A and B are shown apart, each in its own frame.
Chain A
């Protein structure tokens, strides 16, 4: 039996096990029989083991370049670098489905293990839901896109990994996104369980909020990696294009953000239960939609590399899940009544609600714009699309409103606030924002940016709010305990990780949006054609094309490209500092038989290797598009040479380019503050980690509850 057969067998058995988990979970949920609940849970553990085996088998096939596997032949090759062999799996459709369901079984096992002694009423149904989602993905792999499909006549060499994807960020980006998508399945499953059991209190939220936060963090990190890849690998110089697939990943992140905020209102005040249940349903649906959009090719996009047959079953599943969830929430609306009412407009819960509404509004706008081609075709008959201007126009004011709300939220307390309290809380942050605004107007040309200036001031506002919160908390603690200020601060944060981690996330988001505002408002771009010796001036940089470069079999960034044409450029900035930059373009041999044996090395895929000069104030970004047209003559002559001379001929043709360099096309971009997008992202991740880290209290609570549970069991036995 070949390893492909073992893999297929693992999927078949996994499918059966997942179906069993559904049945056992539902039976346990209806009868309350604990042994069936335990059996359903163990079925999920077994699923994890089976899928881990399947992953290992497929990875092993990639590592040994076993081209009898269809997937390996399609997106790997013997000359693909080892790192990219390992990660090539998720550039294929079937491989990414396997990754999805593997991550799902991993997360499901984790949450079911952690709740094995709690939530006895909800967990069985949640197990059934998780089993159901896993069963659907296994069904897709078994009947539509098998990762273990084999080729009767394996080719001698594979097609190789898409050169555009040969970037470290691109390899981590899909698993991060999928971890996010999958992570939101966990609170969804428990929400369904809670609704079915009509136990709509905060228990399901407490049990799964950490998973929601993990999912949110990974999804956000995945989106950011995608942006970084776009900026530093794609030769256009932007980080966000409002591409359908980018939008698809942003939408569940937005509703997820709303969810992790509004569950706090339910925990503290018992309100917004319908809202929370609806939000997690929406987030899960959007996560499914995100997976589906990438894989269906329904909307034109550079990502839509599978105009595949997955569309129909996927849509059917989404429709089924959506209808079932909405019906479930609607049928439980009596159980979801709030415990409390809103007392005053100026209260934290109202600001949470407003922030939620703005997030949902942004999500609706993005959804509308993304699906506009389909909507307009249904209404008017012609397919129309809205571009980045539409999204920028509408989301910019909404994003500003969001930051303003996020800044003010922490200043308000729950229930109601007195005017004196508000005055005391707002004076310093508002002052800081005002001073920043005036200083920017006086000393910089930020005033020309319009809304960018608003964003800069808001960032100062958020920063001041958070600094004030840290200061006040530490001062209060110091007064009570008499600790030294640093001790008071670290203990304060340590005891309230979720809260202070959240504040740090706010600062990170504000800093990130500051980078977005700066780079989109004050961006300078020049597309020029330069011959060696010529220069171009952009902002205060003078960029001179010194000489062409040709690299044969020595690609610096390890992407496995045999040929690379580039340039050495001398740059002089306004202060007279000089440095050199070396953008290049990698050429990957084409597998097409129509091209000549030498020509295919020059006329296959090519990708930009951008050179970036990072700076806190601005980036200088350079890309080159060499003109290889004059090589056509030498290439045709080389194609006719006998085979043993082809290697030398390629070198000779490449040298010919270096010796007679034609003018090359360059794109130069000076983008201010881009670095702050990545710095802001790092701050967000730091804050999220802080919020996720288990606090000593939580550990103690867990131990106490374990003890209580054991005591309860022993008492019931006695």
Chain B
């Protein structure tokens, strides 16, 4: 086989492998990926699958009963809010008025969080100055 032809074949094979891998990556990520929704978006779309609910913990809403934590998450810039039931680990910076993200599903009007999925954004006190 002449070398240019050989090189061409090699290129085609390599490119097809790359395309195949890329397709697999795209598929897996959309398959395992979860939408991040604000309460207003979640109430509007009513997703049946699990998703990540994000927003501000409503001040005065946190209630601890046994192993379960109940609170409400609201849009940072809006009135929409959803009550949340959650169990499992609570990150150290969790506080009323802070932004949190929880994985879970919407059941009726309530959001049932999966255990140990809560993450918090860092406390505003330590935010860098708005320069």
A residues bordering B, Cβ < 8 Å? Answer: 70, 74-75, 91-94, 144-146, 149, 159, 162, 164, 234-236, 300, 302-309, 361, 364-365, 368-369, 372-373, 376, 382-387, 389-390, 393-394, 527, 529, 591, 605-608, 625, 627, 629, 665, 667
A394, B28: Cα distance in complex, Å:
9
B40 CB-CB contact with A under 8 Å: no
Known: A145-B131, A306-B128, A372-B29. A300 touches B121 (CB 8 A): yes
A160, B77: Cα distance in complex, Å:
29
Q: Which residues on the A side are within 8 Å of B101 (C-beta)?
A: 300
Q: Which residues on the B side are within 8 Å of A389 (C-beta)?
A: 32
The answer to whether B25 and A376 touch across the interface, beta carbons within 8 angstroms, is no
Find the A residue at minimum CB distance from B120: A302
The answer to whether A149 and B127 touch across the interface, beta carbons within 8 angstroms, is no
- Scoring B residues 88 to 122 as 1 if CB is less than 8 Å from chain A, else 0, what string do you get? 11111100000001010000000000001001111
B44 smallest CB distance to A (angstroms):
12
Contact of A146 among B64, B127, B131 (CB under 8 A): B131
Q: Which residues on the A side are within 8 Å of B67 (C-beta)?
A: 527, 529, 665
Q: Which residues on the B side are within 8 Å of A236 (C-beta)?
A: 89, 91, 116
Find the B residue at minimum CB distance from A528: B67
Q: Which residues on the B side are within 8 Å of A145 (C-beta)?
A: 128-129, 131
The answer to whether A667 and B131 touch across the interface, beta carbons within 8 angstroms, is no
Q: Which residues in chain B, 25-42, are within 8 Å of chain A measured between CB atoms?
A: 25, 28-30, 32-37, 41
Q: Which residues on the A side are within 8 Å of B41 (C-beta)?
A: 382
Top 6 A-B pairs ranked by shortest CB distance?
A306-B128, A384-B33, A93-B128, A305-B122, A383-B36, A162-B126
Q: Which residues on the B side are within 8 Å of A308 (C-beta)?
A: 128, 130-131
Q: Which residues on the A side are within 8 Å of B122 (C-beta)?
A: 162, 302-305
Q: List 28 A-B contacts (CB under 8 A).
A: A92-B128, A164-B92, A235-B91, A235-B92, A236-B89, A302-B93, A303-B122, A306-B127, A307-B127, A309-B130, A309-B131, A368-B25, A376-B29, A383-B36, A384-B33, A384-B36, A385-B33, A385-B36, A386-B29, A389-B32, A390-B33, A527-B67, A529-B67, A605-B92, A605-B93, A605-B123, A608-B92, A627-B64
The answer to whether B119 and A386 touch across the interface, beta carbons within 8 angstroms, is no
The answer to whether B25 and A606 touch across the interface, beta carbons within 8 angstroms, is no
Find the A residue at minimum CB distance from B32: A390
B66 CB-CB contact with A under 8 Å: yes
Contact of B92 among A146, A606, A627 (CB under 8 A): A606
The answer to whether B88 and A527 touch across the interface, beta carbons within 8 angstroms, is yes
The answer to whether A159 and B126 touch across the interface, beta carbons within 8 angstroms, is yes
Known: A75-B126, A146-B131, A308-B130. A302 touches B89 (CB 8 A): no
Q: Which residues on the A side are within 8 Å of B75 (C-beta)?
A: none
Known: A75-B126, A384-B36. A390 touches B90 (CB 8 A): no
A610 smallest CB distance to B (angstroms):
11
Contact of B66 among A74, A75, A91, A529 (CB under 8 A): A529
The answer to whether A387 and B34 touch across the interface, beta carbons within 8 angstroms, is yes
Q: Which residues on the B side are within 8 Å of A368 (C-beta)?
A: 25, 29
Q: Which residues on the B side are within 8 Å of A608 (C-beta)?
A: 92
Known: A361-B21, A365-B25. A144 touches B131 (CB 8 A): yes
The answer to whether B89 and A527 touch across the interface, beta carbons within 8 angstroms, is yes
Contact of B35 among A93, A365, A382 (CB under 8 A): A382
Can you add 12 more A-B contacts, CB < 8 Å, to A387-B32, A606-B92?
A75-B126, A93-B128, A162-B126, A235-B92, A300-B36, A308-B128, A361-B21, A372-B33, A373-B36, A376-B29, A386-B33, A390-B29
Contact of A376 among B33, B54, B128 (CB under 8 A): B33
A309, B29: Cα distance in complex, Å:
30
B5 CB-CB contact with A under 8 Å: no
A365, B32: Cα distance in complex, Å:
14
The answer to whether A607 and B33 touch across the interface, beta carbons within 8 angstroms, is no
Q: Which residues on the A side are within 8 Å of B127 (C-beta)?
A: 305-307
A364 smallest CB distance to B (angstroms):
8
Q: Which residues on the A side are within 8 Å of B32 (C-beta)?
A: 386-387, 389-390, 393
A384, B51: Cα distance in complex, Å:
9
A70, B66: Cα distance in complex, Å:
43
B125 CB-CB contact with A under 8 Å: yes
Q: Which residues on the B side are within 8 Å of A235 (C-beta)?
A: 89, 91-92
Q: Which residues on the B side are within 8 Å of A627 (C-beta)?
A: 64
Q: Which residues on the B side are within 8 Å of A607 (C-beta)?
A: 92
A437, B127: Cα distance in complex, Å:
50
A415, B120: Cα distance in complex, Å:
53
A74, B33: Cα distance in complex, Å:
37
Interface hub of A75, A300, A304, A625 (most chain B Cβ within 10 A)? A300
- Scoring B residues 42 to 55 as 1 if CB is less than 8 Å from chain A, else 0, what string do you get? 00000000001010
Q: Which residues on the B side are within 8 Å of A364 (C-beta)?
A: 25
The answer to whether B121 and A302 touch across the interface, beta carbons within 8 angstroms, is yes
Find the A residue at minimum CB distance from B54: A300
The answer to whether A394 and B25 touch across the interface, beta carbons within 8 angstroms, is yes
B23 smallest CB distance to A (angstroms):
12
Find the B residue at minimum CB distance from A162: B126
Q: Which residues on the A side are within 8 Å of B35 (C-beta)?
A: 382-384
Q: Which residues on the A side are within 8 Å of B128 (C-beta)?
A: 74, 92-94, 145, 305-308
A386, B26: Cα distance in complex, Å:
11
